Structure formats: C-alpha cells, structure tokens
Amino acid sequence: MRSAKLTSPLLAVVLFVSLLPAAVTKAQRLRPADVEEKIEALLRQMTLAEKLGQLQMLDGEANGNFRPEHRDLIRQGLLGSTLNVRGVARTNELQRIALKESRLKIPALFAFDVIHGYRTIFPVPLGEASSWDPAAAERSASIAAAESAASGVRWTFAPMVDIARDARWGRIIEGAGEDPYLGSVMARARVRGFQGADYSQPDKVVACAKHWVAYGAAEAGRDYNTTDISEGVLREVYLPPFKAAVDAGVGTFMSAFNDLNGVPTSANPFTLTKILRGEWKFDGFVVSDYESVKELMNHGLAGTEAEAARAALNAGVDMEMVSRFYKQHGPQLLQENKISQTTIDEAVRRILRIKLRLGLFEQPYGDETRERAALLNPAHLAAARQIAARSMVLLKNERDVLPLNKNARVIAVIGPFADDNKAPLGSWTGDGRTEDTISLLAGIKAKVSPQTRILHAKGVALGDRGVTGNFDAPPVETSNAGGTNVAPNTDAARSAIGTLAPDSFAAAVNAAREADVTLIAVGETAEMSGEAASRTSLDLPGRQLELIQAIHATGKPYAVVLMNGRPLTINWLAENSPAILETWFAGTQAGHAIADVLFGDVNPGGKLPVTFPRTVGQAPLYYNHKSTGRPPTDQKYTSKYLDVPVTPLYPFGYGLSYTQFRLSNLQLSAPSIRPDARMTVSVELENTGRRAGDEVVQLYVRDMVASVTRPVRELKGFERVTLQPGERRRITFTLGPEQLGFYDREMRFIVEPGTFTVFVGSSSVGGLEAKFEVIEK
C-alpha cells in the first residue's frame, strides 16, 4: 500500500505546479469572435463524413486502452471523441494521429467518468454534499481535474446534478441529495472546480452536467425507469441544479436514459432545445448517455436505427455515445430531408467550440512526467482526508461514547467493512485503486498509541448483493506498531461468494467482550449503490444487524460506523446503539479520516443532504413536501400511516457534534417588503460546549398562501460556521425574488404578495421562526 503519510503537501504542490506546461496565454487564446471564425473555416472544409465523425464518441477498454479501430477512424476523420481512453501515453498516441495524419488536423477529445476523483478518490458526491461546504466540493473537483488532465483526460462526465428523493434509487449516491437549493450550490461549486475560470488551463477539464433531465425521479426508485412529473415540479425541483451549472459556465450536458412525460430525454426537444438552448442560451454541446440514442428503439419512440438518429439529432443531442446511428444513417436522412445540413452543422459547431475553448488546438498533448507528479500527490491525499472528515455525519452519541481515547487498553474493530479497502471507494471510482485506500482498521492502527491492543474480526461476510457467510474462527489480534497478524487457528473457510473469510460471528462477539470499546463497521458493499443498483429494501444487508445486536448484548460500549451510498433504515440502531457515525464511502483516505473523527481530532459537523426513512414504505420521502388538505395529526382521517410515524428517522439537514450550539435573537431587517425588494435575516449562533466545532445554520422559507400550493419548507440559505467554546457570531442571510418566487399556473416565475414564515435552525425540523409580508408595489 502506498504510504499516506503527508510529510510535505506544500512541497508536493510546488513540484506539481512547476511541471505544468505553460498556460495558454491571452495572446495565444482565441477571442470569441476568432473561435467562431475558426469553426466556420473548418466547417467549410469538412466533408459530410468528417462532420458526422465529430458527432461520434466510441468507448475504449476498461483498463484505459483504446481499441485498434480508433487509430484508423481518427486518421480518416471519422471519430471525434472517446470515453475511457486514458493515460498520457495512450491519449498522445491517438492525438498524434489526429494532428499529423488526419486531413483537417482536428484534435480528439478524451473523456472519462471522473465523478469523485481520478486517482485520489474523494467521498462519493452524496457524502461530500453532507459537508454542506461548497468550497470543499470545489476543491475536490479541482484536484480531480488536475489529476485527470495530467493523464490526458480533458472532459469529465460530472457533475451529476440529479435531484433524488427516493433512497431505493442506486444513483442517489452520485448527486447532492433531495434539495434543489443545496443541489444548485454544489453544482456551481463542482463546475467551478473542474473548469476554473478558464478550462483551457492545463490543470482543468471541461465539465458535463448530467443527466438531463429528471432521471432521479425514476418510478419506484428503479434505475432507467419512466418519469412522469408536472412542468411545475420539473422547473422548481429538477431543473435548478442544471441552471446553476449553466450559470457557472458548464461546457457540456449529457442527455439521460429516462422517458420524461412520454418523450425520452435523449430525443426531447422541449428540454434539449426549448429550455436548454432557447431559455438558458446554452452554447456548449449535448452528448447522449451510453447508447441512449439506440435505446430510443426500446422506448418505442423509434422503430428503426435511422428513426432513432433522426429523433435524437433533431431534438438537440449533438454527440452520440457508443452507438453509431448518426454516422451510419446520417447521409440517407440528409438525402431524404429528415435532417437538415443546418442541424448537422450546428451540432459540429457546438463540439468544435468546446474543443477550441479547451485549448486542444494549441495544447493537444499531455506530459508523462507531469502525470506521475499529479497522481496521488501528497497534497491531494491531505485534501482527501480533510474533505472526507468534513463529510461525516454524527447521527447519535449517547453518554459521550465518542470521541474515543487514543490510549484505550483494547479496541475491537469488527464488521464486514472493518478491513475493507474496496467499499470506501464507492461507485464510479475513476482510476482509484484498492491498494492505495486506507481501511478503517489501518486508520485506527495509525491513530492509537503503540500500547493499545487492537482486535479484529469480520463477524459476517457480505457478497456484492448482500449475501452473507458466517464462519467459526477466533479474532485476529493485530499490532498497530507494524507487527505481524496472529493467524487464526482454523482452516480457511469460503464465503457465499467464494472469498476467504477466516473469522466468525462468535469471535467478533468475544472480541467485543474483551475490548474497552468496539467499533462496528457495517453498511453496503460498493456494488450495492450506484448505477443499476436499485434496492427494494433499505435495511442493513445480511446478518449485520444480528451482529450489532449480539455485541450490544455484551453491555460493553460500542459505536457503529456506517459505510453506504444511500439512506438506510436503521431503526434498531437509532433506538439502541449508543453512537452512530455516517461516513458514506469516504474515498482513498477513508480510514484516516474516520479515525480523525472517531478520536476527536476532527469534530464532526456534517449534515444529512437527504432524509433517512423509517421504512422503505415511506419512499419517496423528502422534507419539502406539500401540506395536503389533511395534514397528519392524531385524528384518523389525516395523511399518515397506520404502522409507522409519518416523520422520518433522521430529517434532512440533521447532524450532531461533540459540542453544543444555541441559536437565538432571530431578526428580520423589515416587517414587509415589495415583490422586487430584498431583506436580511440574521441570527446569533453560540458554541455552548467545551470543544471547538462546526454548525450549519440553515434558513428555510414557507409561502403561507399562494395561487399554487407551496412546500411546508424550502431551504433558501445555509452557512457552515466554526466556533471556539463560548464564541458567538451573528449569521446573516439575504432573501429576494430568487428565494421567494415560484412558477405560477402559466409557468411564469413570480413573487406573490402574502405572508411568509422564516425558519432558522440546525435541520429542516424545528428552529426559530419569524414572519414577514410581501406587499403590493
């Protein structure tokens, strides 16, 4: 395993920056008018086949190699972009063919799913959103951009900005959760991180807002399923993060897999052209998702390959990923006047515009020395550790079980994820590697004193889908001073999926009995979240709950460490376990970051970006719901369930700290404002505990009576604040038309006169309240 000791992150930054190629200067960089002139000059020279070649993206192999045909296609001008091809040696080889052997010398564009890191892996996006820290999200995206650009990849298929209200959907892991305001803040931050102020710079990449649009509203949380939502919900819930990405300058969009109100999103002119290009004036290009043009036939929108190509291209999908219908059927469709030359030219124009803005014509090649210096740079590892720790959410901490004492006599580290260095990487792991990842056990060993004994046992083993094994073997005593493990006195047993698991349920319980405190690492495998990973149960898979209950029965102190990519139904834990830390999938530095929080070197300050339900039967569950005509009460005929409370297990915005905070003295700058005016809302925050810590102050608004019914609360501002013990600070927010308006019945964005309630608190439940009026002009 590569050492994670960060002896000189600043020196590493200096060395890396010194290896960057000279940036494209203002004199070298084409002015906007020159970009358009260059585009038109190329278009005049291009054959139809070369134009269609620019609209084609093909995939490389999983290991980063290109396919043999890529050389010939690029040489002939018939391939404009690839995905998954990475590593400077490979990208440079193809780029030299494009620039030295093709007729028009148009550079290729290399893309990859750099979702939460390239080689240095950061927390999964849902986890990172738990930091409620856009600066952290921007920083991680910037580092991911530097590593991927150094490896020849100048285009990332990120950020994913889908709003997700249903925890059954596996891809909830890839976004910022359920709220459009938080999602918009994170979308802007991630686009800024990937692209910077100018993505032609050598350590930046062009970003891609995906999946356009409403992919996260899949019925029943089943991936790729149909979505059917009103235009009002589309505009108020699902579009805002994409608009924020456009406002931040995102260069590309990706159309989605889903059917939206009867029209698949990869052939939907309303979203692709009317909104994106017409209303928002987006001038970048749209790439289809993987074979989503081909899948128009499965949807039943197209009966033939040619019809699928016509529908997608005419709707506004500029580049076709993997399937080859544009290239194969474009000439015939043009001849039959089913697509126009203008449509083809405009798609090519958009793609060339991004290539020119990227500086690919001036700086087409990567540098292998810079690539080696960038990957797993010590400064990058330090940032991954810090951001991971900021992303963790303390769900429970009775009797101050946490933070732990570094000088404890015996600590047991138990569970299927205790020494797992794969799960912390989560899904879409870029070029992240398990051998570089710090497991929880390794992080604990590095944190405690040399005199501390550490006992480790899995207790149960999980397969990719949650299948469990249970084995008879004693716990393994490990040395945190670099000594050898004590081998178990048993024959190796095989789990349900064929992996070795030489420890047991009973051994784990015995270790807990012997230890002063036990850490139980449970959750989901990496394969259980992400694309094509929907679940009908949100319970802990397999026998993990039984393991926790058995350790609980010993009466010894313990803390549960969750590793997962979605909200889980953990009712028993919430009611009985003394401490619960949500760590999500925390990335390359997971073990160190978790240990930093468990032992108090970092005071947890994260908040949930998504609601935790009590049962899967509540899904979809989200805080910003409507009131209904019969809000839930103790009366029978109200909107609730017979068998569980209507409330969530843990609400949106919730998270504890090792210290305590108090909000007081809520003030509004005016009792009333006009619809086009602004006002300030301020509150005093005090750290009343004995430790320095972070609190996220959250501002919610409710429009009490409107021509269209409004949610019971809507997040409209937040700030993460660090305070020393006894310190006070006044936090101020601004409310204006952007925060108070909504789409009326004619889909006009308006601010209506009436009463508004402001809530300021530490979650979406409770808090201080005040009212004000919006009055007629």
- Model confidence pLDDT, tens digit, residues 670-687: 999 999 999 999 999 999
Amino acid at 28: Q
Report, as residue numbers or ranges, the catalytic residues: 289
Q: How far apart are CA 419 and CA 499, in angstroms?
A: 14
Strand-pair partners of 412: 455, 518
456 pLDDT band, cuts 50/70/90, is: very high
Per residue in 732-747, pLDDT (tens digit) is: 999 999 999 999 999 9
- 436 half-sphere exposure, CB direction, 13 A CA radius: 20
Q: Which residues contact 6 (CB under 8 A, 6 or more apart)?
A: 378, 379, 381, 382, 385
pTM comes to: 0.94
- pLDDT at residue number 105: 98
Q: How far apart are CA 101 and CA 480, in angstroms?
A: 57
Per residue in 313-347, pLDDT (tens digit) is: 999 999 999 999 999 999 999 999 999 999 999 99
Give the strand pairing for 81-83 and 56-59: parallel
Q: How far apart are CA 259 and CA 265, in angstroms?
A: 6
Using DSSP's 3-state secondary structure scheme, residue 151 falls into coil
Beta strands in 278-405 (DSSP E): 285-287, 320-321, 393-397
Q: 209 and 254 in contact (C-beta within 8 Å)?
A: yes
463 pLDDT band, cuts 50/70/90, is: confident
Dihedral sign computed on CA atoms, order 233, 235, 240, 242? positive
Q: Which two tokens stand for residue 184?
A: 């918009």
Tell me, rounded to whole angstroms, the distance of Cα 678 from its chain centroid.
Answer: 32
Tell me, rounded to whole angstroms, the distance of Cα 467 from its chain centroid.
Answer: 27
Measure Cα distances from 399 to 403, 516, 577, 594, 652 in Å.
11, 15, 11, 20, 24
Tell me, rounded to whole angstroms, the distance of Cα 215 from its chain centroid.
Answer: 14
Residue range 76-81: mean pLDDT, rounded? 98
Q: How far apart are CA 420 and CA 440, in angstroms?
A: 8
Give the strand pairing for 476-478 and 742-743: unpaired
- pLDDT at residue number 462: 84
Give the strand pairing for 693-703 and 679-687: unpaired
Q: 502 and 472 in contact (C-beta within 8 Å)?
A: no
Percentage with pLDDT > 70 across the chain = 91
Q: Which residues contact 732 (CB under 8 A, 6 or more apart)?
A: 680, 681, 682
- pLDDT at residue number 504: 85
Amino acid at 601: D
Strand-pair partners of 586: none
Percentage with pLDDT > 90 across the chain = 90
> Is 615 buried (19+), middle (13-18) or exposed (0-12) by CB count in 10 A?
middle
Which of 195, 157, 188 is closest to 174 using CA atoms? 157
Amino acid at 639: S
Q: How far apart are CA 11 and CA 17, in angstroms?
A: 10
Which of 267, 268, 218, 207 is closest to 242 using CA atoms? 207
Q: How far apart are CA 554 and CA 508, in angstroms?
A: 11
Q: How far apart are CA 166 and CA 179, in angstroms?
A: 12
Per residue in 123-163, pLDDT (tens digit) is: 999 999 999 999 999 999 999 999 999 999 999 999 999 99
